Amino acid sequence: MTCYYFAAEKMNKPHKDIDTSTEEKIKKAARIVFHRKGFAGARTRDIAEEAGINLALLNYYFRSKEKLFDIIMLESLKGFMQSMTSVFHNPDTTIFEKVDVMANRYIDLLKEEPEIPLFIMSEMRHHPEKLIAEMKPRQFLMGSAFEQQFKAAVKTGEIKNVKMIHFIMNLLGMLVFPFIATPMLRSMTEMNDESWNSVLEERKKLIPQWIKLMFENH
Amino acid sequence: MTCYYFAAEKMNKPHKDIDTSTEEKIKKAARIVFHRKGFAGARTRDIAEEAGINLALLNYYFRSKEKLFDIIMLESLKGFMQSMTSVFHNPDTTIFEKVDVMANRYIDLLKEEPEIPLFIMSEMRHHPEKLIAEMKPRQFLMGSAFEQQFKAAVKTGEIKNVKMIHFIMNLLGMLVFPFIATPMLRSMTEMNDESWNSVLEERKKLIPQWIKLMFENH
DNA sequence: AAGTATTTTAAACAAATGATTAAAAAATAT
DNA sequence: ATATTTTTTAATCATTTGTTTAAAATACTT
């Protein structure tokens, strides 16, 4: 028992073909299976099969299902929150420019990995203690450029006097909900891949317009 | 082995204290545990403990975990879809009256059972074949009063010319997303129960206003 | 009250599943 | 080339978990 996770990073090895290494194959497979089935529904055997490796290698490289899950979850959470945080903390864009960037960036991101929001929300409900701390949700809004801009704009009457959380709920709701309710929404309207995709593309432009209409004072 | 589920309905028994019967105790517990942990995460022992009954009674009354789950899921799905369907098929209300009814009815419903949306969306992702058929999603919009009204209103220019699915996505997104992302949203803003509740109450009035601003032509 | 049917219980079973082991294979170092 | 270390494999273990069984307790019928 020599080479567990991070071992390769502690020693500085040649790191040949990192993307085809066994460790990376397992992580990639774990991402797919965990995203699709969640922690409880995913079996280590599913992951091993998806990765095309022997079951024992999972424990050899990552010690346990839970440790592997923690790594995948942390990465997913980072990917999901990071763009959001950087946008909201950027002082060089206006409120509505932020919305624009969010819409474009998030719809592209979620088209690549559509299961991420439901995965994160589910696991966050099932193990809140563990994940809420990891997410550092306080730093997301509190003291952000967005918060300051929002409060200022309410004061000047530029935008309507409603709680900031409504703004966030509406933006994220319109952005993320389609990816959470995909099976329901798609079967309701019997959309094929192409028209589903075009609806998502339309929303990149429409969501910023809608947000303006909702919150801007005219 | 005599009395499985439905047996009591086939024979017509006195049905004394139906709400405290063992069968009902199990269903109530199953609802709580399945909603909280999902099918894969829920153990029959959890349900038995929650119900305060012997583990074997679960199989005695419902044959299997899966059969019990199917019953709970069907009821949850009905509760979630039914109000929606009846609103959207009502020809006696305008589009925006429908939105108003939806907002009030759904926020009240989801305040009672906040885990339902995430539960349904998760399980629908994990077993789509099984659930999509059960949901009859085609009949939900297709041929509804809402569909006719929407198309007519677009033609007269009363509302903007955007696909109907955007309307549904936005309405449901704004309505349901707060209940899906509760842990994230609440920890972001550090709201206590009271202020969280008041935000939800505010949304009953605000969502209809927002929907008007988004889709009505001015 | 006795007999029968129903419900409940404790115990055990069987399959699934996360994890480990010890040996084989492959890679690396000397 | 040989020795050593690292990686991979097949088999097995130990626990968890859905389900069953057989007996005990309770309710119901006549």
DSSP symbol at B81: H
Task: Find the CB nearest A188 among B118, B140, B178.
Answer: B140
pLDDT score of A133: 82
Nucleotide with the nearest C1' to B57 CA: C8
pLDDT score of A11: 35
- Mean pLDDT, residues B38-54 taken together: 98
Substitution target in A125, A141, A150, A164 with the highest count of B β-carbons within 10 Å is: A125
Nearest CA in chain B to A173: B173
Domain with CATH 1.10.357 in chain A: 74-215
pLDDT score of A130: 84
pLDDT score of A132: 85
pLDDT score of A137: 81
- Mean pLDDT, residues B40-57 taken together: 98
**pLDDT tens-digit map of A187-209:** 999 899 999 999 999 999 999 99
Fold type of domain A19-63: Arc Repressor Mutant, subunit A (1.10.10)
User: Are A124 and B184 in contact (CB < 8 Å)?
Assistant: yes
User: Are B183 and A124 in contact (CB < 8 Å)?
Assistant: yes
Could you identify the residue written with the tokens 């119900």? B51
- Percent of chain B with pLDDT strictly greater than 90: 81
Nucleotides of C under 7 A from a protein CB: 5-12, 16-22, 28
Supply the mean pLDDT for chain A: 91
Range with the lowest mean pLDDT among A83-87, A165-169, B67-71, B176-180? Answer: A83-87
pLDDT score of B9 more than 50: no
**pLDDT tens-digit map of B98-154:** 999 999 999 999 999 999 999 999 999 999 888 888 887 888 898 999 999 999 999
User: Are B163 and A125 in contact (CB < 8 Å)?
Assistant: no
Nearest CA in chain A to B43: A40
pLDDT score of B1: 34
Would you tell me which residues have their CB within 7 A of strand C? Answer: A 14, 16, 42-45, 55-56, 59-60, 63-66; B 1-3, 8, 22, 53-57, 60
- Mean pLDDT, residues B92-97 taken together: 98
Residue with CA nearest C1' of nucleotide C16: A43
- Mean pLDDT, residues B197-209 taken together: 98
Nearest CA in chain A to B196: A165
CATH classification of A74-215 is 1.20.1460, yes or no? Answer: no
Domain spanning B1-63 has what CATH number?
1.10.10.60
- Mean pLDDT, residues A91-98 taken together: 98
Distance from CA(B43) to C1'(D16), angstroms, rounded: 10
- Distance from C-alpha of A63 to C-alpha of A125, rounded to nearest angstrom: 25
Q: How confident is the model at residue A19 (pLDDT cuts 50, 70, 90)?
A: low
pLDDT score of B18: 53
Task: Find the CB nearest A121 among B166, B174, B180.
Answer: B180
CATH classification of B73-215 is 1.10.357, yes or no? Answer: yes
pLDDT score of B80: 92
pLDDT score of B6: 36
Domain with CATH 1.10.10.60 in chain B: 1-63
Domain with CATH 1.10.357 in chain B: 73-215
- Distance from C-alpha of A81 to C-alpha of B28, rounded to nearest angstrom: 36
Q: How confident is the model at residue A18 (pLDDT cuts 50, 70, 90)?
A: low
- Beta bridge partner(s), residue B159: B216
**pLDDT tens-digit map of B16-34:** 455 579 999 999 999 999 9
**pLDDT tens-digit map of A121-159:** 999 999 988 888 888 788 889 899 999 999 999 999 999
Domain with CATH 1.10.10.60 in chain A: 19-63
